[in-house]
């Protein structure tokens, strides 16, 4: 079994209203020097099979990410 971590993030250039809301809240708590905050999603998959990364990529393309607004990365985690 292989543990694959999928990270889905809003595409660069696409406004991320949730990230902006978090950024505002951090500023109100007194944190300064925040250039940007972006919110994404981490998905942990535990997979059998010969090509877990390829399988995870196909899962992203077919369901886990929406290519119009999101980018994804896949990585094997020990």
Decide whether 59 or 78 has the Cβ nearer to another protein.
Answer: 59
Point out which residues pair with 8 in neighbouring strands: 41, 72
Q: How many residues does the chain have?
A: 78
Decide whether 1 or 15 has the Cβ nearer to another protein.
Answer: 15
Q: Which stretch binds another protein (CB under 8 A): 18-26, 29-37, 52-60?
A: 18-26
H/E stretch holding 57 reads: helix 52-59
Q: What is the DSSP letter of 5?
A: E
Q: Which of residues 36-65 bind another protein (CB under 8 A)?
A: 62-64
Decide whether 14 or 75 has the Cβ nearer to another protein.
Answer: 14
**Smallest distance from the beta carbon of 63 to another protein, in angstroms?**
6
CB-based contact 8:64 (threshold 8 Å): yes
């Amino acid at each position: 079994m292989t543990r694959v971590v999928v990270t889905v993030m809003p595409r660069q250039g696409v406004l991320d209203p949730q990230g902006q809301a978090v950024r505002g809240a951090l500023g109100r708590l007194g944190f300064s020097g925040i250039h940007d905050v972006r919110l994404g999603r981490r998905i942990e998959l535990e997979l059998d099979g010969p090509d877990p990364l390829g399988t995870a990529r196909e899962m992203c393309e077919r369901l886990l990410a929406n290519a119009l607004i999101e980018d994804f990365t896949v990585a094997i985690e020990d």
